[in-house]
Amino acid sequence: MTRLLGIALVLVACGGASGPVLRTESPTPTRSPIPTRTPAPSPSVTVAPPASPSAPATPIVRPSGAIHYVAIGASDTVGVGSLDPHSGSWPSRVAALMPSDRTYRNLGVSGSLADQARREQLPTAVREQPTVVTVWLAVNDLNAQVPAAAYRASLGAIVDSLVRDTPARIFVGTVPDLRAVPAYASTDQRALLGLIQQYNNAIHDAAAKHGSRVVVVDLFTGSAELTTAMTVAADGFHPSDEGYVLIAQRFADVMRRSGVPLRAGP
């Protein structure tokens, strides 16, 4: 499990097609706590384009009892780093464990911040009327130095709307311990940990008021170890296919315990 989480921590650090731009360590004792800008978007690997915010949100009626899974997120949700992002992303791997009559929509957009996802991905998610939703958004905001309070407001708006406007069970991933990720080696490790803890508190706050409808997937606990050779893509930042297998397992374990019917598997 520790190895699994170690992998997940690299995977969650997925903002766009390229890794975060880091400042090299200067002669002064002060270092940048986190990368100073969000990785560039890679729309070419986006699985599903976002709907226009002005598009009418006419609900889609689905057969009673059928699972409709929608994934909201950034480049790790898209599958950047996989040899086949369409099938190799962690949400696609989770979807493959669901009953054969399930439907699945991946709304992930590389480089997305939480507030962008609120504007661009959320309207489509609501229109889809999913029964299961995963939300994994944080590292791009952290890299862009979005204050934790602003991040909490954006994520909270996404979760609140999904609870209010859909019948879905919602699973929200936390931020792993990014200090072990090579892309963050030149950052102020203490400051980075403090920011991660603030963001994870914001995630727990967004979920807590909704009871069992919203479940937090803890990707921080036990994530200190990292096996980079197998689980990180060639860019040194995004997950490899091996990494996506492990992150899918982490989400799937929590979803099974919450009653989502998933068969055993990676």
pLDDT tens column, 184-237: 888 899 999 999 999 999 999 999 999 999 999 998 887 654 435 456 565 666
Average pLDDT, the chain: 78
pLDDT of residue 144: 95
**First-to-last CA distance in the chain?**
13
pLDDT in tens, 153-195: 999 999 999 999 999 999 999 998 888 777 888 889 999 999 9
Contact 226, 246 (CB under 8 A): no
- Is residue 4 over pLDDT 50? no
Element (H, E) at 200: helix 189-208
pLDDT of residue 236: 60
Q: Which range has the top average pLDDT, 6-15, 95-104, 170-179, 240-249?
A: 95-104
pLDDT of residue 237: 64
Contact 212, 48 (CB under 8 A): no
pLDDT in tens, 37-64: 444 343 333 344 444 433 444 455 555 6
Q: Which long-range contacts (CB under 8 A, 24 or more apart) does 258-264 make?
A: 258/169, 258/171, 258/212, 258/215, 259/169, 260/67, 260/98, 260/132, 260/169, 261/67, 261/98, 261/99, 262/94, 262/97, 262/98, 263/97, 264/97
- Is residue 3 over pLDDT 50? no
Domains of the chain: 2-16+34-52+62-257 (3.40.50.1110)
- What whole-number distance in Å separates Cα of residue 180 and Cα of residue 160? 32
- Is residue 2 over pLDDT 90? no
pLDDT of residue 65: 74
Q: Which residues contact 156 (CB under 8 A, 6 or more apart)?
A: 202, 205, 206
54 by DSSP, 3-state: which? Answer: coil
Q: Pick from 82, 57, 73, 204: which is nearest to 134 by CA? A: 73
- Is residue 6 over pLDDT 50? no
Percent of the chain with pLDDT over 70: 69
- 179 Rama class: left (phi>0) / alpha (psi -120 to 50) / beta: alpha
Q: Worst-scoring range by mean pLDDT, 74-78, 98-102, 131-135, 175-179?
A: 175-179
Q: Pick from 83, 86, 42, 43: which is nearest to 234 by CA? A: 83
